[in-house]
Each structure stands twice: as structure tokens, then as C-alpha cells.
Chain A
Amino acid sequence: MYELLANLWMGFGVAATPTNVMLCMIGATVGTLIGVLPGIGSLATIAMLLPITFGLPPVGALIMLAGIYYGAQYGGSTTSILVNIPGESSSVVTMLDGHQMARQGRAGPALAIAAIGSFFAGCVATVLVAALGAPLTAMALLFGPAEYFSLMVLGLIFAVVLAKGSIIKALTMILAGLLMSMIGSDLETGAERMTWGIPELSDGIGFVVVGMGVFGFGEILRNLESTGTRDIIDSKITNLMPSLPDLKASAGAIGRGTIIGSALGILPGGGAIIAAFAAYTFEKRMSKTPHRFGRGAIEGVAAPEAANNAAAQTSFIPLLTLGIPPNPVMALMVGAMTIHGIVPGPQVMTKQPELFWGMIASMWIGNLALIVINLPLVGVWVRLLRVPYRHLFPMIVIFCCIGIYSVNNAPFDVTMTAIFGVIGYWLVKHDFEPAPMILGFVLGPLMEENLRRAMLIARGDATVFVTRPISAGLLAISLLMLVLSILPTLRAKREEVFTE
């Protein structure tokens, strides 16, 4: 306990320097600014804003990125409440009651309770990340290559089970991602793999290229399809502060949402989305007046917002302790860390404690920044939402182009992104979820490396994955999850959750 406090104190020492607080604030503001734009999720936001962190020292850059992430998340909720469009997938649930509240002239309290819920959840989750960091890192040191491989299998299976849509299609997406990550030089032998003799491919395809293409440009292409009108709340937003009964009603919901969100966020694979769904459903079941849900119940905003923020935060745990990104956003964080020369994993905590704890402390500062910045700026966001899409997307395109180009100063990367944009559009047209593909793409090199090492250590004996207890346990859980999700009864349940 004492050690934890000492570590957190050190973290605040790093994060609370004026520069880092500034960076965190700027990150949260810019993240919200972009996240508010409908149709741009947190992944595309981070990908787009990645270049602005290039010039910074690693700690500052990661703090800023974390700020951008929370900002993007919160911006998504703002869009859901004010316009009937989810700013991103995890705020779909917020839309149900939030937009109804806004229609009843209570947009102010809805936005405020979303911010307060997120802040509370963020505080709890920050402590949780700090507390779980050390023991999990200790556990990670027991892991050999076989265990790492099995853990990644588990992560990918979770991503499949928790993703919406067909399970087998999600599995094919993962494999497609793994396969694409093999392009480039082989780590051990240096042999060029599947590059077709194109020299630019010998370094492999960059993660930012795939992410920005599929999620940035792909989204734009899809958004251009719908010429639907937006249902923006026109009336002026007055009295932001929720009333006392509002606060009383949502206090319990925020607490429960935080617990559900923290637990689900640690699980690999789309934690934030499922957490929001679960918290909302749970709240509706708990409520004495379930009929109010969907008609502007404040608990229906508080619970999912708390849950998705808690999950967003706790999803840093597997990344920081095990080096395994549990969702595409965290995968992008890995990309960002590698650009700054940091290899995420258990060694971060021991070798660069100031980075680890500084980032954790900055999570709390980021959440505070959201409250401080966002509530006064609501008016600005509303105005931004009125900007027609035909003005927004050229801006997104040019920022993305400059962003990708500045990663390597390579026009080839920009060209590849255009191709991946079309691929992303094609995937959506054929009802494939791109998120598992990205996860597979990021985990691919790690998985292959550990697979090869495990096989080498075991002298080619493939049973090593089931004879080592931890590895066998992880694989057994993955298999169980997969079987359970294919069983018809559970499958129906799963669909019910996603259609609700």
C-alpha cells in the first residue's frame, strides 16, 4: 500500500509538471474537438493526431495521446447526446436516453452527468490500474513464449466473441490481419516475405497506414453513402448543472457502471463497447421503473458513460503490464510507443517507472481536464456539429494525409493508405468487422515470434502449449469461449444484447 502511494506520488510528480499538464489539456481538448465530429471514432482521432506528438519527449507524447483518447471518448458521447448519431461505437448506448433528454430540453444535465460519471469512473479506474499494475507485472515475468502465445490467442478470441456480427467472419478477419502483418522482412532470418520485390514493403506495412486507411478513409467513404439529415438539438443549452434529484438518481448508476466497466475493460477485445451495453442493461433490470429507460432516464446516461470510461482506462492494464493491446485503440498506442522507442510490456514498469506511473497519474489529470474544459465549451461543440459534412471530410482527409506522410516522410505510405481505405469500405460493404483485423495485424509479429521461440525451446514439440499449465489454462478458456459463443442459445443472447 505504501509502495503504491509512493509510486503514485512519483507519477504525479512527472505528470503534474506544467508542460505535461498542458500537454494533457491540449490532448483532451483536441481529442474532443475531433471526437465530436460525427463518424470519427477514437481510433481515427488518435491516428489523425498522432503526428502532433512526434516532436515531444516520450512521456509527454504518451500523456498527450492518453488525453486525446479520453477526449475522443467524451467527444463521442457529446455527439450521441446532441445529435442522434453515435460519435463512436461505445457511445451508441448513451444515445438512447441521452438524446431523449436533450429533446426534452435537458441536454445540459445529460452532458454534465456524462462528464461527472466519466470523471468518477476515471478516478476509480486509475487507482485500479495502479493497484493491479505491480502484481500483474510480476505474473507476466513468469510467462514464457508459450504462455505469451496462448495469452494472445485468448485475447484474439475475446475480440471475436465480443465483436458484433458473425463469429466466423471475425475469425477470418483476424487471420487476414495476421497474414498481412507477415509482409516485410522476417525478424530472424531477414528474408523478404511476400513483398513482391517492392522495396518500400521490406519494412512491412505500418500500423498507422492500415488503421488510418480502414478506419479513417474507410469511414469517410461509408459516411458519404448516407445523405441523411442530422437531428441536432437547436435550442440553446441552458443550466448545465443537474438538479439534486438527478444527482441522487444517477449516483448508484455511476457506481455500478464503474464496477462493470472496470471489470470488462481488463478483458481483451472491445471492452468499452460491451461494458456500456452491459451497464445499461443491468441498470434497466435493476430499476424499479424500467419503462423510463429509452425515454430520457438520467441513469441511462450515467451508467454506460461511467462504464465506458472505466473500461477505456482499465484497458491500459494488459497493455502496460503484459504488452498486449486488448483493443484496436490500444494497438495504436503500441504503434505510438514504438515510434518513441518504447517497447510496451512488463519491462516498462521496471525500466521506465517514471513513464509508467506518469502515464497513470496523467489519466487522472486527463479526466479532470475533461470536466474543466468540456463543460464550458459545450457551446463550441454544438456549433461544430452544425458544420455540414461536405466541409468536414476534406479537412479529415488532408489531416490524415499530412499525418501519414509525416510518420516516415514517405509518399508510398500515403498511397498504401488510400488502398486500405478502399479495402475498409469493401469490408463494411460485405459486413466484415475491421476491428479484429487491426488487432490481428498488431499482434501478428508478437505472436509469430513467441510461437517460433516456444517451438524452438520445446524442440519442435507442439504439445508444449497444452503441457505447460498456464498456457493450457489460457487455451482452454479460449476454446470454451469460442464453443460457448457458437452454441445457439448463447448466440441468441449475444445478438439480443447488440440489437437492444
Chain B
Amino acid sequence: MSDVSDSLSRTPDEQKSYDYYAGIGLAVAGAILLTTSFMVRNPVPLTVRGAIVLFMAGGLAVTFGFLRVKNQQDYYGGMALVLLSLIAFVASNDLPGMRGFAFGPGTAPRLFAFTLGALSLIVAVMGLITPGPYVTKYKIRGVIFITGSILTFAATIRSLGLVIASFATIIICAAAAEDIRWKETLFWAALLTAFCSFLFPYGLNLPFQLWPRFY
């Protein structure tokens, strides 16, 4: 990503405030996981809980400036993957491990989770040592409308049928573009909907229900 457009770059102050909130975010995520670890059937080993507490400390240390992040991409990327491995440890806690010399269902997940945790920790630590790029701004508008439209499709396809679901999806996701023109979009959405409602149920013989089901 060499051509970061100006609208997505962050000033040093904004980078600092990103560190502040991202650190809190890591700590909160860790806290939620820690709480969850008390809700699984078998007690979670102390080492795992200790690792979660250390993880939270790693987040808070950034927030309060004890640690200075030099490469945001590596630090937060690595930390998120550490979190993933900790989640895997908690999630696979109730699964039996080795039985004699045979692998149990929990062996491989914990094996991979451990390796992932160790490697991601290295990535995160590197993010504290070697300078590198910061995390550019997210295009929140795109994320909201695109995911929103996909979720709309998931929510409506069963009950409202293909025609309404796809029309709504197209309209919502078109709003993700900053240069949206509503008249064009309505026309385009109608055309696409017609195309989809013909192609999938008739052209490809896939079982789609076109219109809402009335009971």
C-alpha cells in the first residue's frame, strides 16, 4: 500500500490517540476473554489466565505510554493474533488432550494455538522495537454499508425472497461509494435485480424463492 491517499493518513497526534484507544480495546478484549474463561466447564489452567492478564497489561501499557509502539501494523496485528491463540486455548479447554500415544480432539488445536501465540508475540515485540508504518484510517463508510448490505441479504433472503432481498442489498451497498448518484443507482439496482432473479432460479436452476412467503 504505497499510494495512501491523503484522506486516510494520520497526523502524529492522531496516531497517538489511535494507540490510546487501541490499547484500551486490547485490554477490554482480554477482560472479556478472562471472564469467559471462568464460564467453561473445566478450570482453565493458570498459565493461560496469566497470559491473558499479561495480554491486557500489554494493551494498557500502550494506552498509558509505558510502551511506545514503533510499528503499529506489527504491534496490533501481532497482538490480535496473540488474542486469537488465547481464545483458542479457552475454547479448546474442555476438549480432552493426549490419550496414551493417540491425539485427542484438543491436542492439535492447542499445538497450533501455542505456535501461533509464540510467533505472533514475536511479531508484536518487533512492532515495539523496529520502526515501521502506522495503521492508516479505516474507510468506515465502506465497512458499514458493505457489511450492512450483506447482513441485510442474510436476514431477508429466507423470508422476503430473492427479488426484495437483492434489491435492498444492492441499494444499501451502493451507498458505500462516496460518489453515489441515487437515480442511477435505483435504475442499476432494478436492472441487476431483474438479471439475478432470472439467472439464478431459471438460468441455473437453483432453488430460490422469488417473492415473500405469505402464510
Q: State the A residues within 8 Å of B (CB).
A: 51-52, 54-55, 166, 168-169, 171-172, 175-176, 178-179, 182, 186, 188-189, 191, 193-194, 196, 217, 220-221, 224-228, 388-391, 393-395, 397-399, 401-402, 405-406, 409, 411-412, 414-415, 417-418, 421-422, 425-432, 448, 451-452, 455-456, 459-461
Partner of A406, one of B123, B176, B189, B200: B200
Nearest CB to that of B115 among chain A residues?
A175
Encoded as 1 (CB less than 8 Å from any A CB) or 0, chain B from 67 to 89 comes to 00000011011101100110010
Count of chain B residues with a beta carbon within 8 Å of a chain A beta carbon:
78
Partner among B141, B176, B204 whose Cβ is within 8 Å of the Cβ of A393: B176
B1 contacts A by Cβ under 8 Å: yes
Chain B residues within 8 Å of A455, by CB: 101-103
A397 in contact with B138 given A172-B119, A188-B105, A456-B102 (CB within 8 Å): no
B177 in contact with A176 (CB, 8 Å): no
21 A-B residue contacts at CB 8 Å? A51-B200, A175-B112, A179-B84, A179-B109, A179-B116, A194-B91, A194-B109, A221-B139, A221-B143, A224-B176, A224-B177, A391-B188, A393-B176, A394-B192, A397-B146, A397-B149, A398-B166, A398-B169, A402-B196, A402-B200, A431-B133
Q: List the B residue with the shortest CB-CB distance to A401.
A: B153
Known contacts A224-B139, A395-B170, A406-B206, then 10 further A-B pairs from the complex at CB < 8 Å, ordered by chain A residue: A54-B204, A172-B119, A182-B109, A193-B109, A225-B142, A390-B181, A397-B150, A399-B196, A411-B157, A414-B151
Task: Determine if A402 and B166 form an interchain contact, defined as CB atoms under 8 angstroms apart.
Answer: yes
Chain A residue numbers with a CB within 8 Å of B73 are: 429-431
| Residue contact B8 to A182, C-beta cutoff 8 Å | no
Q: In the complex, A414 Cα to B189 Cα: how many Å?
A: 20
**Closest CB in chain A relative to B106 CB, distance in Å:** 7
Min distance, Cβ B122 to any Cβ of chain A, angstroms: 6
Shortest distance between the CB of B66 and any CB in chain A (Å): 22
Q: In the complex, A176 Cα to B113 Cα: how many Å? A: 8
Q: Which residues of B contact A432 (CB under 8 A)?
A: 77
What residues on A are CB-neighbors of B158 within 8 Å? Answer: 411
Report the minimum CB–CB distance from B138 to chain A (whole Å): 7
Whole-angstrom CA separation of A390 from B176 in the bound complex = 8
Q: Is B95 an interface residue (CB 8 A)?
A: yes
Residues of A within 8 A of B166 (CB): 398, 401-402
Residues on the A chain within 8 Å of B126, using CB: 168
Residue of B nearest to A406 (CB): B206
Contacts of A51 in B (CB 8 A): 200, 204, 206
Q: Which residues of B contact A171 (CB under 8 A)?
A: 119
User: From A400, which residue of chain B is reached at the shortest CB distance?
Assistant: B150
Residues of B within 8 A of A (CB): 1, 3, 5, 8, 73-74, 76-78, 80-81, 84-85, 88, 91-92, 95-96, 100-106, 108-109, 112-113, 115-116, 119-120, 122-123, 126, 133, 135-136, 138-139, 141-143, 146-147, 149-151, 153-155, 157-158, 162, 166, 169-170, 173-174, 176-181, 184-185, 188-189, 192, 196, 200, 204-208
Determine if A431 and B77 form an interchain contact, defined as CB atoms under 8 angstroms apart: yes
Distance to closest chain B CB from A445 (angstroms): 10
| Chain A residues touching B, majority SS | helix
Q: Are A398 and B170 in contact (CB under 8 A)?
A: yes
| Complex contact A220–B136 (CB within 8 A) | no
CA distance A397 to B179 in the complex (A): 17
Which 3 A-B pairs have CB atoms at the shortest separation, nearest pair first? A460-B101, A430-B77, A186-B105
Q: Which residue of B lies closest to A461 (CB)?
A: B101
The residue on A at minimum CB distance from B153 is A401
CB distance from A478 to the nearest CB of B (A): 15
B194 to A: closest C-beta gap in Å: 12
Q: How far is the CA of A388 from the CA of B188 in the complex (A)?
A: 12
Contacts of B78 in A (CB 8 A): 172
How far, in Å, is A95 (CB) from chain B's closest CB?
Answer: 14
CB of A168 within 8 A of CB of B122, answer yes
Least distance between A109 CB and chain B CB atoms (Å): 29
Q: A224-B176, A395-B192, A414-B150 are in contact. Are A176 and B81 (CB under 8 A)?
A: yes
How far is A402 from B122 in the complex, measured between Cα atoms in Å?
40
Output the least CB separation between A167 and chain B (Å): 10
Q: Tell me, in angstroms, the Cα distance from A494 to B113 when the chains sit together.
A: 29
Q: Is the CB of A421 within 8 A of B176?
A: no
Are B85's CB and A179's CB within 8 A? Answer: yes
Could you tell me the distance between the alpha carbons of A196 and B119 in the complex, rounded to whole angstroms?
25
A448 to B111, CA, bound (A): 11
